[in-house]
Every structure is written in structure tokens, then in C-alpha cells.
A and B are shown apart, each in its own frame.
Chain A
Amino acid sequence: MNKIRIAFLGMVCSVLMIPAAIAGTLDTVKSQGFFNCGVSQGVPGFSNPDENGNWSGIDVDVCRAVSAAIFGDPDNVKYVPLTAKERFTALQAGEIDVLSRNTTWTLSRDAQIGLEFAGVNFYDGQGFMVRKDSGITSAMELDGASVCTNLGTTTELNMADFFRANGMAYEPVVFEKADEVVNAYDEGRCDTYTTDKSGLAAQRTKLADPDAHVVLPETISKEPLGPVVREGDGDWADVVRWSLNAMIEAEEFGLTQSNAQTTCALTSNPVVARLCGKEGGTGAGLNLGESWSYDIVTKVGNYGDVYERHVGENTPVGLARAGSPNASYKNGGVLYAPPAR
């Protein structure tokens, strides 16, 4: 009886010791020496573990950039794989500090569920994948189709909008985990698989015969994907936002992972000098060291480096950047970072 009583008192005390509000994520992160980054359970090119459990991808590189900016080391990150359904709760509950898991920026997510979007690291749109032998060439031919997709995504809403707007019927088949969607589509449960086009390209590499499938030309939605933090902690949001912006601006001004060391030593361009941490004092404003952006570029790379490394044309995912919204605004895309000054 006494033991039970003590155990109970212990429980009550431990509840009382939980801090009332988690304040100052940046300070907490600095003192514990790492932060938790929520990623997918495996989307090639975006966030995917290799056989040794090392994560890579453009979403992972956002977290690595944040880590490089804070610690000068891109690997002080603990990755937490999450389903689409779990991701926001994990962030709200403080289980993760940054959510970098191909998450679409929408009004309701920004305004209602306590999230703050720190930017966009990939402009995407929803599409459909079908079997080549089905003979379908357009999404408008999908009347009556069974559609496989993921739970807890904007995808579910977009496809409802799309079929409703075009007066077509369909049968949604909604799975909790991405791997199960791919599996069920591969087994023939559905006529088509819908998600963000980048996701389709990535998941296609997991199919039994990737060449037997084709992504239809239509894009039925806007999906700006980006890193997310908890609402109500502006300092932390700033660190994540500007880590991403620095990668984009470094590319704009020709500062790459391979040339950063020499360029920084020789540069006379003030923008590059600021990115190199030689002048401007941008680090102080973010409560970071002055070499924060230099560390990002040298240890993780600029946006172009990261893109080509994980999702570019020479990777299995193979998404051409030229002509897509993800090209720099100077090349006809919409990638445009506010000045880091």
C-alpha cells in the first residue's frame, strides 16, 4: 500500500515539474547541444534513411543547415520519422523542434493549428500516377477511378475538390502510411495514386517496375512545401527561416559549397561578404555566431547544391529544375529569398 502511495505521489510531482510553457527553443537547443527534426518515414530525395540509418534529402538538409548555423556542425540533429498524421501533434507537443517533412503551407494550418511556416524549400503541385498499360493520358479520364492516397494531407482535400469541380466520381482509398499506399497501388487496389508530383517521382522508385507507370501531365493544386516550427517562438522561427534564405541567396550570388572557401577569401562583393560572415553582423541579430551562413554553405551547400544532390536530374528521383517553379527567379522560377542583411 505504501509503495503505491509513494508511486502516486511521484507521478503527481513529475506532472507538476513539466514546464508550464516551453519558452526559448533556441536557448534550450544551444544548451542541450542538438535539436529534434521531424522528417518523413522515407521519401527518396526529401528525407530518406540509408541502410546505416543516416538521413539525407532536401528536407533533411534544411535541418542540417539549421544545425550548421547554430553549432557550426550540420550533424547535431536527431531525426524523428513521423507519419503525415502524427507530424503536427509531434510539433505542438514539443517532441520535435522543426518539422521538415514535405509539408504544404496553407491558411488553416498557419492560422488554426498553432504552426508557423518558415518558408518554402520546394514548390510542388499534386498530380496523378497511373499504369502505362491503362492507356490513360489525362486526369480528366479518371471518372470512376479508385484513388490511393495518404491520410492527413492536403492531397485528400485537393482530390475531393478536383473530382467535384469536374463532376467526376471516384473511390478514395486512404492509408495511414506512405509505404502502404505504394504497396496497395502496386498490388492493383487502385487505378491511380495521387500525391505531390515530387512525391510521385520519389515513390515511383519504390515500385516493383517503375517504368510501367507514368505521371499524368495535370497539376491540380499548389503545394508550397517548407519547414515548420511552433507558433509563438519568433526567435527560433527566425533561425530556421534565415537558414533556408541563406541557402537560396548563396546560390543567387554564386557562392557554392565547393567554391565558398576561395570566394570568401577573395570577394569584394558586399552581399557575398555578408554571407561569408566577414561583415554586416547578421549573426548577432539571430543570436548566432557571425559565421552562421558561411557554415551553412560550406557544410551543407547552397540551394542548388542541395537540389542537384538529392532530387536533380542525375538522381533516381530525377526532377528537372530548369523550367520548374523551383528555379531561381532569375531563371524564370519563383525561388526568391529576401536579402540576408
Chain B
Amino acid sequence: METDKSKIGSFIFNRSVQGIFYQLITLGLVALGIYYIVTNTARNMLERGLASGFHFLGVESQFDIGMTLIDYSPTSTYFDSFIVGLLNTLLVAGIGILFATIIGFTVGIMRLSSNWLIAKIAEAYVEILRNIPLLLQIFFWYFAVLRALPKPKQSLELYDSFFLNNRGLFIPDTVFGEGSSIIFYLLWLTIIISIGIFIWAKRRQNRTGERFPAFYVSTTLILGTFFVSLAATGFPVSFEYPELKGFNFKGGVKLIPELVALTFALAMYTASFIAEVVRGGIMAVSKGQTEAAKSVGLKQNLILRLIIIPQALRVIVPPLTNQYLNLTKNSSLAAAIAYPDLVLVFAGTALMQTGQAIEIIGMVMGVYLFLSLFTSLIMNLFNRFMKVDGER
């Protein structure tokens, strides 16, 4: 008897058994909670006569969207409106990331400048922009842009082909005529050859120590071939110029002020964070590295390119990924200034017209989750590529 009891006791009081027991209970409660939420939602939706399911995606949307990268009209489906919103989100996030990176790196390096004025300007930039809520900055740029620009009839113009007014920036559209495809094939071919040149030059340098001006050679090759082929085919490229008709300009490519203001605000805001990330990354490279590089006789720009930046990037990339993710998610503030992104078009208008909040918000959340995970994946691959060989 005595031994049985102590056996049971030692089983009950065993820490790992207890651990498993609690985890099972927690898991059970979570499962119960999810089950409860799902069934309760379904029942309440049925009781209140809410439509459910994804049939609405195939129905005509009957609304218009101000800026579309694909063909879209009120007879297009809700699914098309989803794609339009998604592409607009990707556009603003893509351009935003590009500019935020450029501005951020510039400002970050400026902050480390030994020139007092430059360093202080960069510091002021960072401190002001990162401490003002983004939504306010978006409103500021939007209404600042609108107020500063003239009406369509008093547009600012350049060479009768570029027009700027409070309806947007209008630029000539390039129209590729017959025979222009050969130019693109040649362009791709020269790009591939250039990549080959880079790989070859690097191998040769590793083997012999001799450097090859790969950058200049490949740039000349690509641009040279492009212009020669353009001339040879007799310039099959024409331009469609914007023209003032009625209220506004027609023809050409149009950048709406909402896109400009949103991209600007997102890029400026995120750049202030990126600048700090870059500064931290560069400062993390010990001074001894610079001194060692100087002692072997490397020039200043080569020290930066070959010694500092590769080591700094390893510190910079993970937090930089965070900033890219933030920018993408922050782009959903577009709704405030009428930029037709995924949230405004699909989680806004489409949701209102169909009332299918759960399906639509689910899809939108899925998109942002996917975009974030995809960005992380790319940046992780880049980070692995940047790692010093032999490092963990």
C-alpha cells in the first residue's frame, strides 16, 4: 500500500507530468474558445440575417475607383476591386520603401558627419519626423500639396509635355510601336551578359588580385546597345502627350496627388527610423576596422564600400526589415486621404456594399500577413547572403 501511494504521489508531483497536464488544459481551453467563437459567430450571423460566404467576389461591384493599374469599371467584379486595391497598396509600399531607404541611408550617414551643421540637420530631421504621428504628417503633406498647387487651367508646365496641378502630375506616356520588341530582347541580353561580366571579374580578382572595371564596361554595353538598336530600328517609340480637355488633362500618365502625398509622408517618416538604424549599424563596426583598412592603404571610399558597409549591413538588415514591414502596414492609412488602397477600396467600399465584414477583413488581414512574411523572407535571404563566411 505504502509504495503504491508514493508511486502515485511521485507521478502527480513530477514536474514534467504537471507541465504536460497544464499544457493539455490550456490547449483544450484554446480549442474550446475558438470553437465557441466560430459557432457563436455563425449562429448570430444566421439569426441576424447576415449574408456569408465568398459568392460576392463574382458579383459586379457597380462602383468606380479613382486610380487603377488594371482595367476596371463598375461592371467588374468585387474580386477585380480586390486586385485593384492590392496593386495600389503594393505600388505605394514599393515606391515608399525605395525612397525611405535612399533618404534613410543618406540621413543616417549625414548624422555621423564630422561637419557640425550637416550632423545637426540630420539630427533635427530624425527627431522631428519620428516624433509626430504619421497620420498628421499624411494630412499635412496632402493639404500642403493641394494648397500649393494651381488649378488645372493654370498648370505649371515644362516643355508643353509635363503638367503639374492640384489634380496631379501629368507626364507623357511612352507608346511602343512595331519592331520595338527587339530592343527589349537586346536589353535583357545585355543585362544578362553584364551579370556574367561581374561574376567573371570577381573570380578573376579572387584568383589574381587584378581589378576589372566591370561597372563601367557593363553600363556602356547596356546603354550603347539600347541606343544603337533604337536608332537601327528607326525609333519605333512615340509619346502620348497630356492635353487639357474640359476640366482636366487627358492622355499621358497621371500621378494623383493622393499617391504623391502618401508616398512622400510614408517615405519621410520611415526614413527617420531607417536613419537611426543605419547610424547604429555603422557605429557598431569598431574603429579598429577603419584604422586597419587605412594602414593597408585603402582609399576612403573603398574603406566605406569594402570594410564598413558589409559589416554594418549585418547589423542593419534585421531592424531594416522591421521598418519595411511598418511602412507596408502604415500604407493602410491611405483611406484618410482618399488614396484607393486595399483598405479603402476593399475593406471600405466593397465591405459597405456587401456587408460581409468577416470575409473581407479576413482577406485583407491575409494579404497584409502574406506581404509581411514575404518581405521578411526576402530580407532574411539577403541577410544570409551578407553574412561573413564562416560565421554562425
Provide the bound-state CA to CA distance between A114 and B336, in Å. 27
**B24 CB within 8 Å of chain A:** no
A151 and B348 in contact, given A180-B338, A187-B143, A187-B146 (Cβ under 8 angstroms): yes
On whether the beta carbons of A152 and B40 are closer than 8 Å, the reply is no
Task: Kindly list chain A residues whose C-beta atoms are within 8 Å of the C-beta of B355.
Answer: 88, 108-109, 112-114
**A218 CB within 8 Å of chain B:** no
Which residue of B22, B33, B248, B355 has the most chain A CB atoms within 10 A of its CB atom? B355
Which residue of A108, A113, A160, A183 has the most chain B CB atoms within 10 A of its CB atom? A113
**B337 CB within 8 Å of chain A:** yes
On whether the beta carbons of B48 and A151 are closer than 8 Å, the reply is no
B298 nearest CB across to chain A (Å): 53
Interface segment out of the listed B60-68, B289-297, B363-371, B380-388: B60-68
Interface flags, B354-377, vs A, CB<8A=1, else 0: 110100000000000000000000
A157 nearest CB across to chain B (Å): 5
Task: Kindly list chain B residues whose C-beta atoms are within 8 Å of the C-beta of A171.
Answer: 66, 167, 248
**B29 CB within 8 Å of chain A:** yes
Interface flags, B321-341, vs A, CB<8A=1, else 0: 000000000000001111010
**Chain B interface, number of residues (Cβ within 8 angstroms):** 51
On whether the beta carbons of B48 and A92 are closer than 8 Å, the reply is yes
Interface segment out of the listed A12-20, A30-38, A45-53, A254-262: A12-20
B144 nearest CB across to chain A (Å): 10
Restricting to B55-76, which residues have a CB under 8 Å from any CB of A? 62-66, 73-74
**A82 CB within 8 Å of chain B:** no
Interface flags, B118-153, vs A, CB<8A=1, else 0: 000000000000000000000000010011000100
**A84 CB within 8 Å of chain B:** yes
A144 and B246 in contact, given A15-B36, A173-B258 (Cβ under 8 angstroms): yes
Task: Kindly list chain B residues whose C-beta atoms are within 8 Å of the C-beta of A108.
Answer: 353-355
**A174 CB within 8 Å of chain B:** yes
On whether the beta carbons of B348 and A176 are closer than 8 Å, the reply is yes
B333 nearest CB across to chain A (Å): 10
Residue in B29, B63, B246, B351 whose CB lies within 8 Å of A157: B63
Task: Kindly list chain A residues whose C-beta atoms are within 8 Å of the C-beta of B50.
Answer: 92, 112-114
On whether the beta carbons of A160 and B63 are closer than 8 Å, the reply is yes
**Across the two chains, which residue of chain B brings its CB closest to A18?**
B40
Task: Kindly list chain B residues whose C-beta atoms are within 8 Å of the C-beta of A231.
Answer: 48-49
Interface of B is mostly: helix
Provide the bound-state CA to CA distance between A159 and B74, in Å. 10
**B237 CB within 8 Å of chain A:** no
Provide the bound-state CA to CA distance between A157 and B74, in Å. 9
Restricting to B32-53, which residues have a CB under 8 Å from any CB of A? 32-33, 36-37, 40, 43-45, 47-51
On whether the beta carbons of A20 and B66 are closer than 8 Å, the reply is no
On whether the beta carbons of B151 and A180 are closer than 8 Å, the reply is no
Provide the bound-state CA to CA distance between A145 and B167, in Å. 10
B8 nearest CB across to chain A (Å): 24
**A324 CB within 8 Å of chain B:** no
On whether the beta carbons of B64 and A170 are closer than 8 Å, the reply is yes
**B161 CB within 8 Å of chain A:** no
**A85 CB within 8 Å of chain B:** yes
Task: Kindly list chain B residues whose C-beta atoms are within 8 Å of the C-beta of A61.
Answer: none
Provide the bound-state CA to CA distance between A157 and B44, in Å. 29
Interface flags, A62-97, vs B, CB<8A=1, else 0: 000000000000000000000011001100100000
Residue in A21, A151, A163, A189 whose CB lies within 8 Å of B352: A151
Provide the bound-state CA to CA distance between A189 and B30, in Å. 50
A184 and B338 in contact, given A21-B47, A145-B247 (Cβ under 8 angstroms): yes
Interface flags, B160-171, vs A, CB<8A=1, else 0: 000000110000
**B250 CB within 8 Å of chain A:** yes
B135 nearest CB across to chain A (Å): 11
Provide the bound-state CA to CA distance between A151 and B340, in Å. 11
A152 and B48 in contact, given A144-B247, A172-B65 (Cβ under 8 angstroms): no
**Across the two chains, which residue of chain B brings its CB closest to A134?**
B247
**A164 CB within 8 Å of chain B:** yes
Provide the bound-state CA to CA distance between A232 and B22, in Å. 42
Task: Kindly list chain B residues whose C-beta atoms are within 8 Å of the C-beta of A9.
Answer: 29
Provide the bound-state CA to CA distance between A176 and B338, in Å. 7
**Across the two chains, which residue of chain B brings its CB closest to A187?**
B146
Provide the bound-state CA to CA distance between A306 and B151, in Å. 42
Residue in B44, B74, B151, B250 whose CB lies within 8 Å of A21: B44
On whether the beta carbons of B247 and A146 are closer than 8 Å, the reply is yes
**A153 CB within 8 Å of chain B:** yes
Provide the bound-state CA to CA distance between A175 and B146, in Å. 15
**A5 CB within 8 Å of chain B:** yes
**B344 CB within 8 Å of chain A:** yes
Interface flags, A126-154, vs B, CB<8A=1, else 0: 00000000000000000111101001110
**B349 CB within 8 Å of chain A:** yes
Task: Kindly list chain A residues whose C-beta atoms are within 8 Å of the C-beta of B247.
Answer: 143-146, 191
**A111 CB within 8 Å of chain B:** yes
Residue in B29, B48, B248 whose CB lies within 8 Å of A230: B48
Task: Kindly list chain A residues whose C-beta atoms are within 8 Å of the C-beta of B335.
Answer: 151, 176
On whether the beta carbons of A174 and B338 are closer than 8 Å, the reply is yes
On whether the beta carbons of B344 and A189 are closer than 8 Å, the reply is no
B140 nearest CB across to chain A (Å): 13
**A161 CB within 8 Å of chain B:** yes
Provide the bound-state CA to CA distance between A174 and B167, in Å. 14
**Across the two chains, which residue of chain A brings its CB closest to B254?**
A171
On whether the beta carbons of B151 and A188 are closer than 8 Å, the reply is yes
Residue in A113, A164, A189 whose CB lies within 8 Å of B51: A113
Interface flags, B192-203, vs A, CB<8A=1, else 0: 000000000000
Restricting to A236-264, which residues have a CB under 8 Å from any CB of B? none
A116 nearest CB across to chain B (Å): 9
On whether the beta carbons of A172 and B66 are closer than 8 Å, the reply is yes
Q: Which residues of B line the A interface, CB within 8 A?
A: 22, 26, 29-30, 32-33, 36-37, 40, 43-45, 47-51, 62-66, 73-74, 143, 146-147, 151, 166-167, 245-248, 250, 257-258, 335-338, 340, 344, 348-349, 351-355, 357
Q: Which residues of A line the B interface, CB within 8 A?
A: 5, 8-9, 12, 15-16, 18, 20-21, 84-85, 88-89, 92, 108-109, 111-114, 143-146, 148, 151-153, 156-157, 159-161, 163-164, 170-177, 180, 183-184, 187-189, 191, 230-232
Chosen A-B contacts, 27 in total, with CB atoms closer than 8 Å, are A12-B30, A12-B33, A15-B37, A84-B352, A85-B351, A85-B352, A92-B48, A109-B355, A111-B49, A112-B51, A113-B50, A114-B48, A145-B247, A146-B167, A151-B335, A152-B352, A156-B63, A164-B74, A172-B63, A174-B348, A183-B143, A184-B146, A187-B146, A187-B166, A188-B166, A231-B48, A231-B49
